[in-house]
Amino acid sequence: MSEKGSLARQLYNEEGENMLEKKAGELRRKTFETIYHAGGGHYGGSLSAIEIMTVLYYDAMKLRPQEPEWEERDRFILCKGHAGPPLYVILADQGFISSDRLEELDKNGGSLPKHVDRLKVQGIDYSSGPLGQGLSVACGMASAAKLDKKDLYVYALMGDGELDEGQVWEAAMTASHYQLDHLIAIVDRNRNQIDGSTETVMALEPLEEKWKAFGWNVQAVDGHDTKALKSAIETAKAAKGKPNVIIANTIKGKGISFMENQYTWHSGQITQEQFQQGLKDLEGRCKG
């Protein structure tokens, strides 16, 4: 849990609202607006990952926004580095970076590149963009923490299209061989990648069985259900001896009617009318 944003110690507030869901609604809207104001970008895989990142940053992870390099912090590896915008929105909300910087997203000379860069943005643990490498880095970090007897967790968020990269499976073998039980991988299983559905481009199913065969504890959840995600992470943290993967079933472009489940909205630009439509969709469907 973020030491600042201890939002979800109580999942529900006194009015019975799920606080993580409410926060996810705010973050989805801000992410949509931020990408629009940047002139376009990776809408699809940013919007599918909102609840996953919300549960990590507002419940699961141990962080200190005022001390971003705190040695004992949990680590977050955004393997699918093109989904920088929701992470930046969270980092701004939590005080790692100033909110003004969101206006610089993907601007020439700006300080916020659309693919995450740890040398430019406080709170980012790993620079990414090239898919397939993040899980290996997460293995290294989890391994180092284990050798140093540090009680921290390493979370790695991967795209499902990203699983086409062979290096992911080398890392999967490594993690189970070294019993990296403080490594929790999450697959954003939105079933679409850049140029088609995952099953058309390179079939992944049966995906749970593949991870099991590689020696991982596997859970599959609705990746937009904050309560289910929270509980899956808690289960993963309690398990010993094996790395953990959570297959989070999501919808690419979640929340925006004309983007949902359309691989063509992996990235792109929208008109002002489409922006207004999106805001209306979010008003009706993603309260927060």
Ligand X SMILES: Cc1ncc(C[n+]2csc(CCOP(=O)(O)OP(=O)(O)O)c2C)c(N)n1
Q: Applying CB under 6 A, does 225 fall inside the site for ligand X?
A: no
Q: Applying CB under 6 A, does 220 fall inside the site for ligand X?
A: no
**Contact yes or no for 159/131 (Cβ under 8 A):** yes
Which member of 41, 85, 132, 255 binds ligand X (CB under 6 A)? 132
Q: Applying CB under 6 A, does 28 fall inside the site for ligand X?
A: no
Q: Residue 16 or 166: which CB sits closer to ligand X?
A: 166
C-alpha 48/C-alpha 44 separation (Å) is 6
C-alpha 245/C-alpha 171 separation (Å) is 13
Rounded least distance, CB 190 to ligand X, Å: 5
Torsion from C-alpha of 132, 138, 141, 145, nearest 10 degrees: -160
One symbol per residue from 62 to 81: x for binding ligand X (CB under 6 A), - otherwise; what is it? Answer: ------------------x-
Q: Applying CB under 6 A, does 129 fall inside the site for ligand X?
A: yes
Which member of 5, 41, 44, 134 binds ligand X (CB under 6 A)? 44
Which member of 85, 161, 243, 288 binds ligand X (CB under 6 A)? 161
Give the interface size with ligand X as a residue count (CB under 6 A): 20
**Contact yes or no for 226/28 (Cβ under 8 A):** no
Rounded least distance, CB 53 to ligand X, Å: 12
CA angle 235, 240, 242 (to 5 degrees): 95
Q: Residue 25 or 161: which CB sits closer to ligand X?
A: 161
Q: Applying CB under 6 A, does 34 fall inside the site for ligand X?
A: no
Q: Which amino acid is at 199?
A: E
C-alpha 140/C-alpha 143 separation (Å) is 5
Neighbours of 49 (CB within 10 A): 28
One symbol per residue from 176 to 215: x for binding ligand X (CB under 6 A), - otherwise; what is it? Answer: ------------x-x-xxx---------------------
Q: Applying CB under 6 A, does 252 fall inside the site for ligand X?
A: yes
Strands 244-249 and 183-189: parallel
Rounded least distance, CB 35 to ligand X, Å: 13
In the window 80-99, what residues touch ligand X (CB under 6 A)?
A: 80, 82
Rounded least distance, CB 198 to ligand X, Å: 6
Rounded least distance, CB 161 to ligand X, Å: 3
Give the binding range for ligand X (CB under 6 A) out of 86-94, 139-147, 157-165, 213-221: 157-165
Cα dist. 127→15, 133, 199, 243 in Å? 40, 10, 28, 23
Neighbours of 206 (CB within 10 A): 10
Rounded least distance, CB 87 to ligand X, Å: 13
Neighbours of 11 (CB within 10 A): 16
Rounded least distance, CB 246 to ligand X, Å: 14
Cα dist. 207→163, 216, 219, 245, 249 in Å? 10, 12, 11, 11, 12
Q: In what order do the strands lie in the sheet with 75-78?
A: 75-78, 154-159, 183-189, 244-249, 217-222
Residues in contact with ligand X by the rule CB under 6 A: 44-45, 48, 80, 82, 129-132, 159-162, 188, 190, 192-194, 252, 266
